[in-house]
Structure 1
Amino acid sequence: MEKKPKILIATPGRNKPMGPFVRSYIELLPFEKIVLFGGFLPFFYQDTSLNKQKLTRYFFTLLSLKNQKWLLAIIKRRFKKILIKEKIDCVVADYLVTGATVREACEELNIPIVANVLGYEIHQFDFVARHKQLYEDFGKYKTFTIPVAKNMIPKLVELGFSEDRIIYSPIGAREEFFKVIPNYHSKQLLAIGRFAHSKSPHTTLTAFSRVLTKIPDAKLTFAGDGELIQECKDLVLKLGIERSVDFIGWIDRAKQLELLQQSAVFVQHSVTAADGDAEGTPVAIIEAAAAGLPIVSTKHGGIVDIVINEKTGFLVDEHDMELMAEKMTYLLENPAIIGEMGNEGRQFIHDHFSMQKHIADVSRAIHNSIKL
């Protein structure tokens, strides 16, 4: 019987493994797994207590005051010891920069790396400039990269990544999202995501204020948190629409499923920020489409790959709040169209962007990397 590969999942989560990709990999990848977190060169096992984390970080802080290079050498040596002790066959890195940071230690032990690639780390100008050499070195090694949007592929190739070792695969929707039954007559629009410049939440709010001039009983529920949250709350007061907008903060998956069931349409106005930051393929849009909600969003990043314009939703140009408001209004006035688009979107996501497909893509990359 062929031995099942043993993988190490490396995630930069500071206090615990976090984020939709790493949670899915921990739960669903069909391999023997070890999980490390704590930074781009992670050094904590998954079950490390908070007290032990604090003591270790305190010790590392003292070392860093004396010699930063010495500290990095200690962390790298610790990481290598874990790779050897656990007899790891492949490292699965959550984020490209994580993979690039652990590359040197893995290369010394001839261990391949598979890394997913998210939006900011390949688009944001300063971030890419700071990590350009790390990326180029990573691309020359035994690696497979998994970008979440097609428009990332040319950028990876430009950095020296081999196109035959790039696998386009956004994270998929879990099975429970396909079972949601939305309320197409609810007049409720739903937005879920970070309050960040690349998601331009203030544009969504301004467009929604124009929807209210034609549909006064429309509602917008906005879930999430971030640096622009207070600015957006101030805008709502300035627009005089506070009775129609509900900011509910961070939500868990159970609350997300509940909101999808209560809503009719999902909205998000993603844009390219001034610093180059841009979306990959928003997980929330994939999940909303899987739940049967038509999408009103922008022609941006990987969104164009997961929303079929005028069939599973509407895509407008970035910053075109007038057309966004028009499409939101049109859908709320036509619940039958909402249902048709929602069903088309659910089927499209099921056929092309399920979690099962994404896990199969990552598993294939792991097996192929071990053969390199």
Structure 2
Amino acid sequence: MKIAIFIDVFPIASQTFVMNQITTLIDLGIDVEILALYSGDQTILLQPQLLGYQLNQRVQYLLTAKQSKFSLISQRLNQVVKGLLFSKSRQKVFAGLNPKFNEQARNLMLSSIAASQTNSLKFDWIIAHFGSSGVIVNHLRDMGVIDGSIATVFHGLDITAELNMKNTQRNYQRLFKNTELLLPISNLWRDKLLSLGADKEKIHVQRMGVDLSLFNADRKEISNKPFNILTVARFSQKKGLKYALQALASLPDSIEFKYHLVGYGELEMQLRAQCTELGLDNKVSFLGPMNSKEVVEQMRWASVFLQPSITADNGDKEGVPVSIMEAMASGTVVLSTLHSGIPELVQHKVNGLLAPEKDVMALSRYLELLCNDTVLRQDLADNALERVRNLADVKVLNQQLLSLMQQYKGGH
């Protein structure tokens, strides 16, 4: 089977779920190619655990680097003109200008891609991550640029905040009608797709997962002093990190803790300023982005993994954060929130603790409980390890996905 993974930007440090799927499919003997609109952080591909996959030889970038609007349109117009002059691409380039493709026709995205592809890109399946990528793949197949069945994975942002973007719902209706599989990562997003009018026969929940072999649940002995709290996240509003800091500032003086923040993002300066305001500068460490091996080591030392996710002002929500799965696979107890699909993985007082969104006092109370009750902490962590093995083993999940695709092809 030949499969393309279609994504907006590749690679991105925060999208470990995409990398997990790619490497596992390759391990399963699948011929995998990566189609990305734009090039991402190429240093990610140099990580030791990825070098053997030679992903730089499997990826094709369909567009040049993002730039100013004037330069972008000028460059694309030049490509389109050249494409129209070349007989093999002319028909597809014209097709990309069809007004039914909305903004992707007007900004010449589709036509410029068509101009660079003299032959159709042929696959058994194209797995598009995020609804916006599914829309583009659907358009490209309609134009004859890509050939193959399409499965679109819906993660969260694509069926929350992006629904308010112009033409998104119209594009989704065409996607729902024309493509073969719709793969929400949670039951919550399955229900959302149904409410938008998607065909229930095309919808199959396809959870993201982690490679359990990378995580060692045989943890190092960790003292309660200091109490080590860890978050691995992009510093964006929906991660709720300002509430984490407020909760830490509310802890009793008797609790000696260290808070380690791994990641990066647009709110970093605000979070650093908040630390100073709350008197937490000596207790909070901003460690920057880390590769997967470094994250594994941080997980092993952590007493608690804190993920206080919220619904952002623009409606953006989490799916089910992979970082929570990684913490559970590492034998680290999770404290998160009753948000989006998180309760489908973390069961309150069974394999983790969940607070209401933005509830600072509940977060603080649970942190204090976990610090003082090491037996509870160990019980929750043990149950979490069993839960993630049953629900989020990426190898099992991808085998199930391959079976689903083979069944679909066999039945249609």
Measured in 1, the distance between the counterparts of 2:267 and 2:259 equals 17
Q: 1:307 aligns with which of 338, 341, 346?
A: 346
Measured in 2, the distance between the counterparts of 1:80 and 1:368 equals 31
Report SS of the residue matched to 1:208. helix
| RMSD between aligned residues | 3.0
TM-score, scaled relative to structure 1: 0.87
Q: Which has the higher contact order (CA 8 A, sep 6+)?
A: 1
Q: Residue 10 of structure 1 contacts residue 94 of structure 1 at CA under 8 Å; is this kept in 2?
A: yes
**CA separation of 1:200 and 1:70: change in aligned 2, threshold 3 A:** closer
Structure 1 window deviating more from structure 2 (141-150 vs 229-238): it is: 141-150
Q: Structure 1: any 5+ residue segments left out of the alignment? A: none
Q: Report the alpha carbon displacement of residue 254 of structure 1 after superposing the two structures with TM.
A: 1.0
Q: Deviations over 1:11-70 (max 9, x none)?
A: 111678982233123212142122211259xxxx954799x9569999964244678748
Measured in 2, the distance between the counterparts of 1:337 and 1:16 equals 36
Q: 1:104 aligns with which of 129, 135, 139?
A: 139
**CA separation of 1:261 and 1:14: change in aligned 2, threshold 3 A:** closer
Counterpart for residue 185 of structure 1:
223
Measured in 1, the distance between the counterparts of 2:325 and 2:373 equals 23
Would you say how many aligned residue pairs link Structure 1 and Structure 2? 360
Q: Residue 152 of structure 2 contacts residue 181 of structure 2 at CA under 8 Å; is this kept in 1?
A: yes
TM-score, scaled relative to structure 2: 0.79
Give the residue type in structure 2 aligned to 1:89: D
Measured in 2, the distance between the counterparts of 1:114 and 1:336 equals 44
Measured in 1, the distance between the counterparts of 2:216 and 2:313 equals 39
Counterpart for residue 95 of structure 2:
none
Counterpart for residue 36 of structure 1:
35
Q: Report the alpha carbon displacement of residue 223 of structure 1 after superposing the two structures with TM.
A: 0.8
Report SS of the residue matched to 2:234. coil
Measured in 2, the distance between the counterparts of 1:54 and 1:121 equals 22
**CA separation of 1:36 and 1:319: change in aligned 2, threshold 3 A:** same
Report SS of the residue matched to 1:161. coil
Q: Structure 2: any 5+ residue segments left out of the alignment? A: 40-54, 81-104
Q: 1:285 aligns with which of 304, 312, 324?
A: 324
Q: Deviations over 1:235-275 (max 9, x none)?
A: 11011111111111111111101101111111111111111
Measured in 2, the distance between the counterparts of 1:224 and 1:15 equals 16
Measured in 2, the distance between the counterparts of 1:291 and 1:272 equals 27
Is the counterpart of residue 150 in structure 1 residue 187 in structure 2? yes
Is the counterpart of residue 318 in structure 1 residue 343 in structure 2? no
Give the residue type in structure 1 aligned to 2:155: L
Give the residue type in structure 1 aligned to 2:223: H
Is the counterpart of residue 89 in structure 1 residue 124 in structure 2? yes
Measured in 2, the distance between the counterparts of 1:39 and 1:128 equals 21
Report SS of the residue matched to 2:357. coil
Percent sequence identity over aligned pairs: 21
Is the counterpart of residue 258 in structure 1 residue 297 in structure 2? yes
Give the residue type in structure 2 aligned to 1:199: K
**CA separation of 1:345 and 1:88: change in aligned 2, threshold 3 A:** same
Structure 1 window deviating more from structure 2 (89-98 vs 123-132): it is: 123-132
Give the residue type in structure 2 aligned to 1:62: S
Q: Residue 17 of structure 1 contacts residue 23 of structure 1 at CA under 8 Å; is this kept in 2?
A: no
**CA separation of 1:76 and 1:65: change in aligned 2, threshold 3 A:** closer
Is the counterpart of residue 24 in structure 1 residue 23 in structure 2? no
Measured in 2, the distance between the counterparts of 1:231 and 1:59 equals 33
